[in-house]
Structure 1
Amino acid sequence: MGQFGKVGEKFPAGRLGQRTRQGGFSLWTLLVIVVFVVGVAIPAIRSIPSLVEYFSVKRAATYAKQRAVNKREVVEYFDKQAIIDRIAAVKGEDLLVREDDNGAIQSVGFSYRTEVPVYGPLSLLITYSGTQH
């Protein structure tokens, strides 16, 4: 006997005429996956520059808080760093600077919104905020 039963028999007994179901993606499944990936990927890719700017704002606020001794210096240090990092979303005067009773800087905060165009009239409105203690 061979692999398939009797010698010369091409198909195993009982399997003739039965339809086997093959695995894999149908065309509709593939289409749904492509639409989903494109629907998630395009907004994610388009929002990368605003995310990079957010981290630059965070870094500039931390830098200003560490170097400054009063509100005026926080604004000056932040604006200098904003020029270097090309920050356009926030200005030094927009920062929320908290001082203690002695005038020492407790925290530097910021909050802003940015609009990210996705496709045609569709856009994302992202709100960024942070506080550097």
Structure 2
Amino acid sequence: MQQQRGLTLIGLLFWAVVVAFVALIGIRAVPTVIEYYTIQKVVDRIAASNPSTVPAVRQEFERFVQVEYSIQSIRGSDLQVTKENDRVVISFAYDKEVPIAGSVYLLIKYEGRSR
């Protein structure tokens, strides 16, 4: 007799639960990643225009926040503005808690700076 090969019902259910859990985390985390890349794009655009003062940087960021509704985690006052070699460098950092189920959260720490 030949040995049977395949997946048992319990194995199938196990892998279905694992795939569903990974998909749930992905569905909940992807919007925060998109928000991070949007913030990075806005910060790069502002730094490329080489604003003259820190309030000008923050005001420009607030103007972008009003246009781009996906930015909710950070405000202009959270930006750190420095100068390196006569270039404006804007950096930011924030934490995002993503609810998974009940009192279980995924904590993602984002940080970035202008190029």
Corresponding position of 1:88: 72
Rg bigger for which structure?
A: 1
Letter in 2 for 1:91: R
Percentage identity across aligned positions? Answer: 28
Report if aligned partners of 1:69, 1:105 keep a CA contact under 8 Å in 2.
no
Q: Which of the numbers 47, 54, 68 marks the counterpart of 1:65?
A: 47
Moved more, 30-39 or 109-118: 30-39
Structure 1 residue 106, shift from structure 2 partner: 3.2
Corresponding position of 2:91: 109
RMSD: 1.6
The structure in which a higher percent of residues are helix is: 2
Structure 1 residue 100, shift from structure 2 partner: 4.3
SS in 2 for 1:23: coil
1:125 aligns with 2:107: yes
Q: In 2 relative to 1, CA 51–100 (structure 1 residues): closer, same or farther, beyond 3 Å?
A: closer
SS in 2 for 1:21: coil
Q: Number of residues paired by the alignment?
A: 113
Corresponding position of 2:16: 34
1:24 aligns with 2:44: no
Q: Which of the numbers 59, 63, 87 marks the counterpart of 1:76?
A: 59
Given the two structures, how large is their TM-score scaled by the length of structure 2?
A: 0.88
| In 1: Cα distance, 2:5 partner to 2:61 partner | 59
Q: Which ranges of structure 1 fall in alignment gaps of 5 or more residues?
A: 1-18
Q: Which has the higher contact order (CA 8 A, sep 6+)?
A: 2
Given the two structures, how large is their TM-score scaled by the length of structure 1?
A: 0.77
| In 1: Cα distance, 2:60 partner to 2:104 partner | 36
Deviation sequence 1:74-112 (CA, Å, 0-9, x none): 1111111111112111111111111248xx443111000
List structure 1 segments (4+ residues) > 3 angstroms apart after TM superposition. none
Letter in 2 for 1:23: R
Letter in 2 for 1:110: F
